[in-house]
Amino acid sequence: MKILRVEDATFARGGVTLVEHFSIGVACGERAVLHQPTSDAAAIAARIVAGIVKPTTGRVYIGDYDARLQPAQAKRLVGFVPAAGFTGSERAFARSVAFRADVWDIDARMARRRADDVVRALGGSLDGYVWAVALALIPTIALLVLDRPPPALLDAVAELAPPAALVALFAGERASAVTRSAAFAQSAG
Amino acid sequence: MSTHFAIAWLARFAAGLAVGLTLGPRPDALMLGAALMAVGTARSNDVHDLTLFAAPLYGRQLARALAVPPCIAAAAFPVGTLVAMLGRGEVLPPAALGAALLGAVVAALVGLSGAIRTTQWRWAYDALAVLAALLVALPVWLGLPHALGLSLCLALALGFFALRAFGETLARYDPID
């Protein structure tokens, strides 16, 4: 069963098309890399895939939910990592962990432990992207969306979320090409 | 955000204190000041924070969460004036203080929808926020019978619609910036 189905999605604002038609379907455990021509297009496409931004045309289904009609149910299944990563302080990170624990109904101490485990597994770095991945992986999710991740992190992140489908968005020449590979970092390059 | 919020709150509190200490117990200055100082309180929120939009929350839930800090910030000016009055040993009419507080909260709620809009619409929401606050304070200003009760009814109605409108706005909003 496909956990993510994006059907012919576009995004336009003020009459300008910012994201051209793209479709993608990803099943649980699958990994996909989606290329967009520009960073802006990649950022918007990542948010469309995560159900955060509504496409101007086309549809996005996450699990059994239409992301436009049932956004809260759809987002409950998704972990989203923005390109900028987590930009706050250590205290703000602790607050964000508590926020996610609260919203996803997880025990606060368990959420903190899960976040620390993910940070440790990714090398214990204080990098903002690692922190953002840790936040995204606190709840049990079915889909992890990575907006322009550092290619070096990709395989390690994929190993941390094995049952979840994983979609990484990149900006580059190969517009709208979808590639699937177990060797994630290779296909991202 | 917390440091920014604390500074913004203290600045409004200091303004209320200054107005209270210099002008004394002036209900008109209090109500007008509260309305004006409530403008921009919604901007202490980071409404573009993707953490919020990525969370499985409906627009109305986000709206309620984002409404709390501006309302607290908006109360700073009337509280500052109250503290100044206590310092001077003078009495501020309770109805004026209540109307100023209610007006400030309504202005903060109306201003919320402006926080995710661009320049000219943001100005329009700021103007609407001041007008709403003055409308809430009007019964007390005019000395109508049961003035505070009337102000409370107006504040409840306007606040409810403002918060609902903000929830609808957030539900339709696409955070792409």
The full DSSP string for B115-161 is GGS-HHHHHHHHHHHHHHHHHHHHHHHTT-TTHHHHHHHHHHHHHHH
Query: Which residues share a beta bridge with A147?
Result: A169
Q: Which of A47, A72, A80 sits opposite B57 (nearest CB)?
A: A72
Name residue, tokens 């086309």: A58
The answer, as to whether pTM is greater than 0.90, is no
Residues of A in contact with B171 (CB under 8 A): 71
Residues of B in contact with A82 (CB under 8 A): 50
Per-residue model confidence as pLDDT tens digits over A85-129: 998 888 889 999 999 999 999 999 999 999 999 999 888 666 889
Q: Do B54 and A52 count as a contact with CB atoms less than 8 A apart?
A: yes
CA geometry: angle at A24 spanning A7 and A9, to 5°? 35
Whole-complex ipTM: 0.83
Q: Do A99 and B57 count as a contact with CB atoms less than 8 A apart?
A: no
Residue B164 has a CB neighbour count (10 Å cut-off) of: 14
Question: What is A152-180 written as a DSSP string?
Answer: HHHHHHHHHSTTSEEEEEEESSSTT-EE-
Which residues on chain B place their C-beta less than 8 Å from a C-beta of chain A? 50-51, 53-58, 171, 174-176
pLDDT tens for chain B, 177 residues long, are 578 888 889 999 999 999 999 988 888 889 889 889 888 887 767 677 788 889 999 999 999 988 999 999 999 999 999 999 999 888 888 999 999 999 999 999 999 988 888 878 888 999 999 999 999 999 999 999 999 999 999 999 999 999 999 999 999 888 887
Among A75, A96, A135, A146, the strongest candidate for a mutation testing the B interface, having the largest count of B CBs within 10 A, is A75
Strand order in the sheet with A16-27: A16-27, A2-13, A57-62, A65-66
Per-residue model confidence as pLDDT tens digits over A13-51: 988 999 999 999 999 889 999 999 999 999 999 999 999
Residue A87: helix, strand or coil by DSSP? coil
Min Cα separation B9/chain A (Å):
20
Contacts of A171 (CB under 8 A, 6+ apart): A35, A36, A37, A38, A39, A41, A42, A148
Chain B CB within 8 Å of residue A1 CB: no
Contacts of A138 (CB under 8 A, 6+ apart): A97, A100, A101, A104, A106, A111, A114, A115
Chain B CB within 8 Å of residue A118 CB: no
Confidence at residue A173, expressed as pLDDT on a 0 to 100 scale = 62
